[in-house]
Chains A and B, each alone.
Chain A
Amino acid sequence: MIKLKRSSILAAVLGFTLALSGCGGGGSTAEQPNEPPTTPEQGQGASGGETAEKPNLRMIMQYGLFDPKTEFAAKYIQERTGYNVEYELLPAEGADEKLNLLVSSKDNYDLVKLNAAQFYNLASAGALEPLDDLIESHGNYIKQSIKQESFGSAMIDGKIYGIPETGAGVSIGEELVVRQDWLDELGLSIPTNTDELYDVLKTIKEKKNVIPLTMSKDSIYGDIATTFGVLTDWKEVDGQLMHRAELPEMVEFITYMNKLYKEGLLDTETPINTAQKSIEKFAGGNAAMYKLAWWNAGTTISALEKNFPEAKTAVVPYLKGKDGKAVVGAKANTTWYISILKSSKNKEATMDFLNAKLEPETFKGIAIGEEGVHHEVKDGKYYPILPKFNDDLNNASSFLTGVDEEKYPIYWQARVRKDPVLQAHFEEFQSNAEGLIVVDPMSTAPPIDAVSKNLLRLTTMLDDNVLQFISGAKPIEDYDKFLAQWRAEGGADMVAAANEWFQSSK
């Protein structure tokens, strides 16, 4: 009996100690916020002795299907910069929650690679270190590589909170692709405007009994919308910014699409199609036209040709609008932001590391490896050497922390040249778009509160409604009603805030 009693007391004591250690842990995290202010001073004092031992750094990266420890790029970066970096990946799903957890736990992370929304959230929560001084003192290569207007996209209240990574530059992702063999068979030529497109689709429907045009719910704008003047999210009209939801042209576009839908010329499953589903229909010979992304072109076209050896496809040049001109909308947004956490104890070293990665030779090595080993140069263009390039550099883009904005778009194209079909489509899309590109006027905007808070939600709301209008689930006469609701749910605030920036940036 006594033994048993003792054991129950032991259990209770154990419980209390556990509870106490839990509280102790909470206390220690609460103390940490006091530490950062002291570290920069120490850092500045030590900045003269840069040859001192380089600290280990910890970096949070976006999700990728690889193990950073075994990646070529990681080893290469360590060799070139002398910094030993421990990389950790955010999960593929629930990345934002995990990021908040990691940052709020104040667990010795030094730098993070963030998307625009994550960057804005962390910066406005005060978790990121302003970088102006650090870039000034340690960032000679950074200043050389990144343009001033790109830094604008990383500024909040006049301070830079991240190094902007613009990626591969402005390029066009999608264009309509049509079954040329069917056009030939029916004696049709490639349409050049929406009227001709309608006739072509109608003839295909009558003669071939397939889906004339399939589209995915995730990509409803593009080639057709641009002919009506609906390009990207934002458009400058008489010196004012307008969101595409507000454009009268939007209603014209919806009306046209609704006509296609009613007459069975547009895939009736458009509101539920994923890109994968649409590709299935196109490659399976059940659809005649699809707005294909070049990164899907390799697999899609080779699948189609295997299924139907006689099949031939052609890219439809961007359709002309009412004024006889074709335009293409493109975004030049900053894709990633690389920020230093306020809780980091190695801020100077981190900036030194980021700077070293942009040293021209090092940067080229991270981007496309060594000449003769990973890539070769033909007529001034970079070509990958396969399979070495894929083996070593498939995931190298994840390790970039800012790019040389002049050179990277050229280096990067080596990635496109891995597959001739993919390369052909990429190059044809770009040459078709040459001289027609209109860049979204909000591309270089800094994070704006009313925009960051609302854009994603309002975009989803708009797209859902556009699909309903196109499929006739809602009558087009109700568009004004929808627009009023869109404005009331934050649209009006967002547009006003965007315009405020736009006027001040002129």
Chain B
Amino acid sequence: MEDHKKALEGNSTARGVIKLSFSEKCFAVFNYTFFILMGLTTLLPFVNLIAKSLSSEGAVISGRVGLLPVGLQFDTYWYVLQDSLFLNSLKNSVLLTLVGTACSLTVTTLTAYPLSKYRLRGRKWLLLMFVFTMLFSGGLIPTYLLMQNLNLVNTFPVLFLPAMINVYNMLIIKNYFEGLPDSLEESAKLDGAGNIRILLSVILPLSLPVMATIGLFFAVAFWNDYFAAMIYITDPGLKPMQLYLKELLVSSSGDFLKDNIDAAINTTPQSIQASSILLATIPILLVYPFLQKYFVKGVLVGSVKG
């Protein structure tokens, strides 16, 4: 406590030394208010959602729940945690994120590495082909037909196989690799290392920041993806979390329930919707703080060429 006070005093004296001009003070005040407001606009919906998920359904329906729960209860969480559709979709999402990220990172790195070498024949041409797919795609129906003829529709791999190479991420890794000094590779070669050995033992250990960043990009993308599943998956047992959530919300909306009495009788209570959303958000929220330091560092390192 004492130390804390001292530290505070120390701070205030330090602030006293460097005097802020009036305009600087105004700016600081404006800055703080602006960013606090910005922060609140993103934070308050979350708080409201937490409050709703912990409130009794009656209070939620009558719009009495603001930032604090009314009629505290935890049953909704038990209900959601026992719901086999929810658990199954959570399992699918976790699996998709792990497998998808691992595969994508491997394939994207293996593509980026050769393309980062100037001596690769036809490098420009190959790069152009990759960039072309960034700008143009086959369109939804042809892609669907392709997946169908590859027998991938309604299978788990369809959720990550088509997304394994992300050209944008590949270019970031390639740029990072290009920034590493050539002499590293040369000295490894003198020691008798082959291409694979150089990549695994020399290049990759030096590329951890960019790997963590791109890995997080992939992980977040796979976690949040609902579109691929919406298109390719009709088997409810294969649906990932985000699609489940989307359908949970859509199926309780007025448009969907119009003229469908049987669905109207069975609508999901709003407090259960809120707890499902929260339970689905928590896992990825937990990952963020631990990887965020790499996030900032990684992109920066990748963007500045050594």
Chain A residues near B (Cβ < 8 Å): 1, 4-5, 7-8, 11, 15, 21-22, 24-26, 28-29, 60, 63-70, 88-94, 98, 101-102, 104-105, 107, 167-168, 173, 216, 218, 274-276, 279-281, 283-285, 293, 295-296, 299-300, 302-304, 306-307, 335, 394-395, 397-398, 415-416, 418, 422
Contact = CB atoms under 8 A, between A and B. Distances in A.
Interface string B235-257: 11100000100111011001010
**For the complex of A and B, 5 pairs with smallest distance between CB atoms:** A25-B149, A303-B58, A280-B63, A88-B234, A283-B62
Contact of A90 (B234, B246, B260, B269): B234
Given A25-B148, A89-B236, A101-B144, A8 B63 contact: no
B121 A88 contact: no
Residue among B88, B251, B269 with most chain A CB within 10 A: B251
Contact of A8 (B88, B126, B247, B250): B126
Contacts of A4: 114, 119-121
Interface of B: 56-59, 61-64, 71, 84-85, 88, 114, 119-122, 126, 129, 141-142, 144-146, 148-150, 153-154, 230-231, 234-237, 243, 246-248, 250-251, 254, 256, 258-266, 268-270
Contacts of B260: 335
17 contacts: A1-B119, A4-B119, A8-B126, A22-B142, A29-B145, A91-B247, A92-B246, A104-B141, A105-B148, A107-B148, A274-B254, A280-B61, A281-B63, A283-B58, A299-B58, A300-B61, A306-B56
B302 to A, nearest CB: 24
A88 B237 CA distance: 10
Nearest to A298: B265
Contacts of A26: 145
Contact of A65 (B85, B121, B146): B85
B235 A284 contact: no
A178 B117 CA distance: 77
Contact of A69 (B59, B71, B121, B237): B237
Contacts, number: 145
B58 A394 contact: no
A493 B265 CA distance: 37
B261 A173 contact: yes
Given A168-B261, A304-B62, A67 B148 contact: no
A351 B266 CA distance: 30
A89 B121 CA distance: 49
B165 to A, nearest CB: 12
Contacts of A8: 120-122, 126
A275 B61 CA distance: 11
Contacts of A397: 262
Q: In terms of DSSP, what is the predominant structure of the interface of chain B?
A: helix
Contacts of B64: 284, 307
Contacts of B254: 216, 218, 274-276
Contact of B62 (A65, A69, A284, A296): A284
A295 B264 contact: yes
A293 B122 CA distance: 68
A295 to B, nearest CB: 4
Contacts of B120: 4, 8
B246 to A, nearest CB: 7
Given A104-B141, A307-B58, 10 more contacts: A28-B149, A64-B263, A65-B251, A67-B88, A279-B61, A283-B58, A295-B264, A299-B57, A299-B58, A418-B265
Contacts of B84: 67, 70
A42 to B, nearest CB: 25
B230 A94 contact: yes
A306 B60 CA distance: 12
Given A218-B258, A281-B63, A93 B144 contact: no
Nearest to A276: B254
Given A90-B234, A299-B269, A67 B85 contact: yes
Contacts of B62: 279-280, 283-285, 303-304, 307
Contacts of B231: 98, 101
A415 B265 contact: yes
Nearest to A303: B58
A92 B119 contact: no
B88 A395 contact: no
A8 B263 CA distance: 56
A67 B121 contact: no
B264 A25 contact: no
B129 to A, nearest CB: 8
Contact of A89 (B56, B58, B119, B234): B234
Nearest to A61: B234
A189 to B, nearest CB: 27
Given A92-B247, A299-B57, A303-B57, A284 B262 contact: no
A102 B234 contact: yes
A25 B144 CA distance: 11
Contacts of A70: 84
A65 B265 contact: no
> Which of the listed residues B71, B145, B243 has the most CB atoms from chain A within 10 Å of its own CB?
B145
A300 B150 CA distance: 50
A306 B119 CA distance: 76
Contacts of A63: 247, 251, 256
A93 B261 contact: no
A394 B266 contact: yes
Q: Of residues B235, B246, B265, which shows the largest number of chain A Cβ atoms within 10 Å of its Cβ?
A: B265
Contact of B146 (A25, A64, A67): A25
A22 B234 CA distance: 23
B142 to A, nearest CB: 8
Given A68-B236, A105-B148, A284-B64, A395 B266 contact: yes
A299 B237 contact: no
B274 to A, nearest CB: 13
A230 to B, nearest CB: 19
Nearest to B244: A65
A25 B145 contact: yes
A92 B263 CA distance: 12
A104 B142 CA distance: 11
Most chain B CB within 10 A, of A66, A93, A293, is at A93
Contacts of B57: 299, 303
B133 to A, nearest CB: 11
